[in-house]
Amino acid sequence: MKHPLSARRATALLFLLLAGSPPPVLASEGTVLAKPGATALAAHLPVEKAVLTEAPFVPPPIKRRHPAKVVVELEVREVVKRLSDGVEYTFWTFGGNVPGSFIRVRVGDFVEFHLNNHPSSKVPHNIDLHAVTGPGGGAASSFTAPGYSSQFSFTALNPGLFVYHCATAPVPMHVANGMYGMILVEPENGYPEVDKEFYVMQGEFYTAGRHGEPGLQPFDPAKAEDERAPYIVFNGSVGSLVGDKALKAEVNDRVRIYFGVGGPNVISSFHVIGEIFDTVYQEGGILPSQRQVQTTLVPAGGSTITDFKVDVPGTYVLVDHSLSRAFNKGALGMLKVTGPENHLIYSGKEVDAVYLGAASEAASVAGRREAELMISKEKAIAASPEIANLTQEIRLERGKKVYLASCFACHMATGEGLPNVFPPLAKSDYLKADKDRAIKVVLKGMSGPITVNGSAYNNMMPPQEVTDDQAADVLTYVMNSWGNDFGNVSASDVRRVRAETR
Amino acid sequence: MKTLLALICVSSVLGAIAAEKSEIPSCCAPAPAALVFKASCCVEEKPAAPLTDKSLYQLNSAWTNDAGGSVALTTLRGRPVLIAMFFASCEYACPVLVNDLKRLEAALPEDVRGNVQLVLVTFDTKRDTPPALRAFRERMELGPQWTLLTSTPSAVQELAMLLGVKFKQDSRGQFAHSNLITVLNAEGEIVHQHAGLQGDVSTAAKVVAQLPR
Amino acid sequence: MAPTLLRSSSLRSFRRMLAAAVVWGGLLVFTSARSEVAAPVGMTFIPAGTYEPQLRSKDEPDKVPVEAFWLDARPVTNAEFLEFVRTHPQWQRSKVSALFADRGYLADWAGDLELGEAASAAAPVVRVSWFAARAFAQAEGKRLPTTAEWERAAAAGFTQPDGASEAGFSAYVLSWLSRPGIARLPAAGSGRPNVFGARDLHGLVWEWVDDFNTAMTTGESRADTGLERNLFCGAGAAGARNLTDYPAFMRAGLRSSVRANYCVPNLGFRCAQDLAPASENSP
């Protein structure tokens, strides 16, 4: 299969080039054969240790107005963590998380970079920082075997927001396993001051299983090559910026998001729902290149800096506006803004209520719980015959998931309803009295006056679009929660009622 | 008839047993000699201190120079060494590498220059016999301070590993190899490496000049 | 008895017995003649074949012939290496020179001659340098396999001689890389044998090869790679055989990232041996 250098081979060569060579032979272990020139230049600079942070947090702005020698210690670790509910993945990380630690220096700083590859790593790694001017962006000098450490130095000649990533062949796999992060090189006088700064990076994960398929998922090279990612997420997992992990700000804050795309493949159409970017430093450069932007394009292996002032409280949703990614694959995060309302600007409801199903935090807790219980169930079956209790618990959690997706909006989270408007389900005599009627209400809805626990209600409940199993589960949940002990509803009960009431 | 049959079976069985019984030769592992010191009239008088942990002269392999004489690496002890690996039929890089060594030698201060040994070790153990090495020495006009060495493939491999030199033989019999000049101090420890061809040798020269005499 | 055998009614059974004796005898003679030494203990026969290098330069063939050889059926264990350092004290942890094994050498053992909790006897020995592995092999009258030999043996699947055409084999090899490292390695040889009878070439530990320093990453002569062209003389451009064979990239990467005295936590070795007894120093 001999043929002259083709485009494919040239690409492979590029990555092979980036892979670099091992550290120089050491005169004595632990000593670096420093090139005399470099250390002489840096000798007069004050030395400081780089403050590294984990996403979504950013190190504080640099106050000094002169260069320094900044020492960065970054550890590469391969760790198993949650990718989504019930789904785990072996991430290859800079600093233990995806994205890797955020590094903040100033233009002109002399950076002494230590890359430490944890002994438990399977494979060698290196780093290519887009801020480095030099072979491979540092990759050639940082190729490190498991249990070893490399050091190289560079001067941050160019200001801007730069991606860094592992450049060891096969690069798509290393990056697809989460080996990317960002380094901010502040211009001489920094970027304009803001009140809140956040660090968000988008990336894909190519799992052998479908989106949501539980278990420890291996990497799938065929999907990676075809760029068919089951997961496209912010900050390394589905829901990483949702619920109690949402970004937080207050009304009138000037917010800045340092947003990058680790990739490995897809670009991002970055948008914050409900906000307009006052300023965009396009592609992470130093020019405030555009103002009043709704959605800005971020290249794979690139970045952007978006500044905006938040005027009204609420939840603002960060998305990749290629919406299948936001909706189906996890490219969604939240910024929760608290403070006084300003109805002139906006008078609407919390965005939380709009995102039901997988996006709702309580439902995902229930989902997580369900996944944990499923695993327990398998174990229990193998170990002991106490299956019945677990099965019931699973049904209750599944039912709770359905409840939180549809019913709670009116009947409330603890089944108490809304006085005079929506009847309670907790300790409801109406519910207890007739199981078949309860099933029919769920399937067909109801209207007209009823009395529940001595109070009169006259409202309309819409029919619920649920499967037989979902109806059975949610009814079982309702009938066994909040002090209710009204028995179970089975899928066959539901089927029967559905047939009868056709 | 029965006897003949029995004889056939028995002889086959015996034959099989004999075949399985052949010995697997066992060799001793070469000991990395931490304490070897070979006194030689070529080496300046020094106390017989043990070799340090980093000294390449812990390799106790046997080497042959282009005069056909056998050389132990410890004979290099006592003076700084500039060492590189090459092969005589190299078409491109090795002549340039030798030239780089000459440039480096020339860049040294005069009093240092006379004290330095220049060593070339061949990858091509098959074809670079002592006469071939001799021919290379003459072609490249290498004086008495140059030592050309060959050995077994295993010993060459070990030295390349210690220096960090990568090499691979291709189908044409040529070697693809990295180009590296290594500076060893008097104890045989690596103190500097200069990679690539036709580069700036002044840093390496400074390192050599600053080595303790 | 003999006259009985020759009677026609028993002639057929006698002929059968004779035929069987000839066949079995011939088989025994034939197998012992094929190998100058009979199968060394714990080794398996790897037949002659080819190796397609993942990385090669333009002038190199894309298929390298590999002669038949013996290969250890499983990696060398802690117990075996312990026995070696017992009889070769210069390779004990506290005595070995840093030139031949760095500070990570046998770091998981409890002492010079004590395995301890972290290193089980049957697990593959790791944290051994290339020099140490070679010394062990030489003490056994063996050697380390070359890259070509190791890759040729490892290209075989569990049911097919060519693993790439065996359903699920590539995914199996890659799956090890998708799992995190484990603190305590399982016993060497506990994996499924491939068609040649070798176990654990994938999925347990990386393994030293004799010429690991040939796994070099060279630049392309036409591209802006002045550095690489300088560093690596030789035939110029290098190409990758198969851009989707990620494990092959990983192995080449691991080999490029280590030095001969490195002692890596997940790098062990197994030995090879020529079919014909050869002198230690033949090319």
- Residue bearing tokens 């941050």: A156
Nearest CA distance, B183 vs chain C (angstrom):
16
- Cα separation, B111 vs B213, in Å, equals 10
Q: Which residue of A has its CA nearest to C243?
A: A12
Residues spanned by the domain of C29:
1-34
So what's the pLDDT on residue B30? 43
Percent pLDDT > 70 in chain A is: 86
Question: How far does B28 lie from chain A, in Å, by closest CA?
Answer: 29
The pLDDT of A11-37, averaged and rounded, is: 43
Find out whether C70 and C275 touch, Cβ atoms under 8 Å. Answer: yes
Residues 6+ apart with CB under 8 A from A382: none
User: At residue C195, what is the residue type?
Assistant: V
Better-predicted residue by pLDDT, A90 or C236: A90
**Strand pairing category for C64-66 and C232-233:** unpaired
Peptide bond into A99 cis (omega under 30): yes
Residue B43 has pLDDT above 60, yes or no: no
Residues 6+ apart with CB under 8 A from B111: none
Residues A431-455 have a mean pLDDT of 92
Tokens for A447, please give them.
Answer: 């209207």
Q: Which chains form contacts with chain B, at 3 or more CB pairs under 8 Å?
A: A, C
Q: Are C231 and B16 inside 8 Å of each other by CB?
A: no
Distance CA A450, CA A459 (A): 9
> Are C264 and C256 within 8 A, CB to CB?
no
Rounded distance between C-alpha atoms, residue A79 and residue A93, angstroms: 7
CA closest to B190 among chain A residues: A27
Q: Is there a single domain that holds both residue C209 and residue C233?
A: yes
The top-scoring range by mean pLDDT among A32-41, A126-135, B148-157 is B148-157
- pLDDT surpasses 50 at A33: no
Q: What torsion, rounded to 10 degrees, do the Cα atoms B10, B11, B14, B16 define?
A: -110
Question: Per mean pLDDT, which range of A157-171, A198-212, C47-61 is the poorest?
Answer: C47-61
Going across the sheet that includes B175-178, the strands are B167-169, B175-178, C232-233
> How far does C275 lie from chain B, in Å, by closest CA?
11
Is residue C62 within 8 A of residue A3, CB to CB? The reply is: no
Q: Both tokens of residue B174? A: 């040529």
> Is the CB of C138 inside 8 Å of chain B's CB atoms?
yes
* Distance set, CA C211 to CA A31, B160, C145, C148 (Å): 27, 11, 8, 9
Q: Are C270 and C71 in contact (CB under 8 A)?
A: yes
* Helix or strand (DSSP H, E) at C153: helix C147-154
Contact A27 B189 (CB under 8 A): yes
A149-155 vs A160-165, strand pairing mode: unpaired
Q: Choosing among A16, A21, A25, which should be mutated to test the B contact, i.e. which has the most B CBs within 10 A?
A: A25
Same domain, C102 and C168: yes
Q: Is C223 found in the same domain as C107? A: yes
Q: Are C118 and C183 in contact (CB under 8 A)?
A: yes
Distances (CA, A) of A382 to A55, A368, A377, A395: 41, 22, 9, 20
Helix pair B2-20, C8-34: axis angle to 10 deg: 20
DSSP letter string, A200-222: EEEEEE-BSSPTT--EEEPB-HH
Gyration radius of chain B's alpha carbons:
24
Does position A360 have pLDDT exceeding 60, yes or no? no
Q: How many other CB atoms are there within 10 angstroms of residue A289's CB atom?
A: 15
CB contact under 8 A, C25 and B24: no
- Say whether pLDDT at A416 is over 80: yes
Examine the domain organization and report whether C25 and C63 are in the same domain.
no
Side-chain half-sphere CA neighbours of A152 within 13 A? 26
Residues C164 and C240 in one domain: yes
Tokens for B92, please give them. 């491109």
Q: Give me the CATH number covering residue C175.
A: 3.90.1580
Statement: residue C258 has pLDDT above 60: yes
Picking from C55, C58, C179, C217 by the largest number of A CB atoms within 10 A of its own CB, the best residue to mutate is C217
Residues C15 and C130 reside in one and the same domain: no
Please state, in angstroms and rounded to a whole number, the distance separating the CA atoms of residues B33 and C90: 9
DSSP H or E stretch at residue A74:
strand A69-84
Q: φ and ψ at B13, to 5 degrees?
A: -65, -45
One domain for residues C127 and C164 = yes
Residue B189 CA to residue C194 CA, distance in Å, equals 45
Q: How far apart are CA A180 and CA A178, in angstroms?
A: 6
Which amino acid appears at position B78 of this protein?
G
For A216-229, how does the pLDDT look when each residue is reduced to its tens digit (9 = 90+)?
999 999 999 999 99
Rounded mean pLDDT, C100-117: 94
Distances (CA, A) of A491 to A467, A469, A495, C51: 9, 5, 6, 60
Residue with the larger pLDDT of the pair A139 and A332: A332
Q: How many domains does chain C have?
A: 2
CB C271 within 8 A of CB C144: yes
| pLDDT bucket at A25, cuts 50 / 70 / 90 | very low
Distance, in Å, from the CA atom of B92 to the CA atom of B76, rounded to the nearest integer, reads 28
Instruction: Enter the pTM of the model.
Output: 0.67
C18 and C87, same domain (yes or no): no
Q: Which of A1-10, A130-139, A302-311 is the least confident region? A: A1-10
- Alpha-carbon torsion C67, C73, C77, C81, what sign? negative
- Rounded to the nearest angstrom, the minimum Cα separation between A27 and chain B is 5
Residue C239 predicted with pLDDT over 70: no
Q: Which of C99, C100, C178, C230 to mutate to test the interface with A (most CBs of A within 10 A)?
A: C178
Chain A positions touching C217 (Cβ under 8 A) are 16-17, 19-21, 169
Q: Minimal Cα–Cα distance from B112 to chain A, Å?
A: 20
Number of helices (H), then strands (E), in chain B? 6, 9
Is the distance from CB of C102 to CB of C261 less than 8 angstroms? yes
Distance CA A18, CA A314 (A): 45
Span A53-72, pLDDT tens digits: 999 999 999 999 999 999 99
CB A85 within 8 A of CB A237: no
**Residue (of C157, A43, C146) closest to B169 by Cα position:** C146
Rounded to 5°, the CA angle B116-B122-B128 comes to 125
Whether chain A has a CB inside 8 Å of the CB on C232: the answer is: no
Which chains does chain A touch, 3 or more C-beta pairs < 8 A?
Answer: B, C
Q: What average pLDDT does the structure give for chain A?
A: 86
Q: Are A337 and A220 in contact (CB under 8 A)?
A: no
- CB-nearest to A25 from B163, B203, B206 is B163
Distance from C-alpha of B30 to C-alpha of B205, rounded to nearest angstrom: 35
Return the axis-axis angle of helices A435-444 and A468-478, rounded to nearest 10°.
Answer: 130
Residue B80 has pLDDT above 70, yes or no: yes
- CB contact (8 A) between residue C99 and residue B126: no
Query: Distance of CA A321 to CAs A267, A272, A318, A332, A337, Å?
Result: 11, 9, 9, 9, 21
CA angle C208, C195, C148 (to 5 degrees): 35
B189 at interface of A, judged by CB pairs closer than 8 A: yes
Determine the average pLDDT of the residues in A281-299: 94
Q: Does B187 touch chain A (CB under 8 A)?
A: no
What the block records as the tokens of A186 is 């502040």
C109 and C134 share one domain: yes
What angle, 0 to 180 degrees and rounded to 10, lies between the N-to-C axes of helices B93-107 and B202-209? 50
Partners of residue A447 on adjacent β-strands: A460
Residue A354, token pair as written in the block: 């709009």
Q: How many CB pairs under 8 A join A and B?
A: 23
Q: Hey, which residues does C50 pair with through a beta bridge? A: C65
Q: Which residue has the tokens 């920094």?
A: A190
Q: Residue A271 has which token pair? A: 């948008």
Q: Is pLDDT of A474 > 90?
A: yes
Same domain, C2 and C46: no
Determine the pLDDT at residue B5.
62
> How many CB atoms neighbour CB C93 within 10 A?
17
Same domain, C88 and C8: no
Task: Give the Cα separation of B11 and C3 in Å (integer).
Answer: 24
Q: What is the pLDDT of residue C38?
A: 74
Q: Chain C window 26-45: which residues touch B at a Cβ cutoff of 8 Å?
A: 26, 28-29, 31-33, 36-38, 40
On the 0-12 / 13-18 / 19+ scale of CB atoms within 10 A, B95 is: middle
Euclidean distance between CA atoms B97 and B93, whole angstroms: 6
Best B52, B54, B194 member to test A by mutation, with max A CBs in 10 Å, is: B54
pLDDT band at C233 (very low <50, low <70, confident <90, very high): very low
Asked if C29 and C57 sit in the same domain, the reply is no
Query: Which chain B positions have a beta carbon within 8 Å of C283's beta carbon?
Result: 125-126, 153
Closest Cα of chain C to A108: distance in Å? 25
Q: Residue A42 is which amino acid?
A: A
For residue A135, pLDDT over 90 is answered with no
> Is some CB atom of chain B closer than 8 A to the CB atom of A37?
yes
The per-residue pLDDT for range C202-231, each reduced to its tens digit, is 999 999 999 998 766 443 222 223 334 334
Q: Rounded CA gap, C126 and C140, in Å?
A: 18
| pLDDT of B58 over the 70 cut | yes
Measured in angstroms, the CA of B190 and the nearest CA of chain A are apart by 5
pLDDT > 90 fraction of chain B, expressed in percent and rounded: 49
Across the range B147-152, mean pLDDT stands at 96
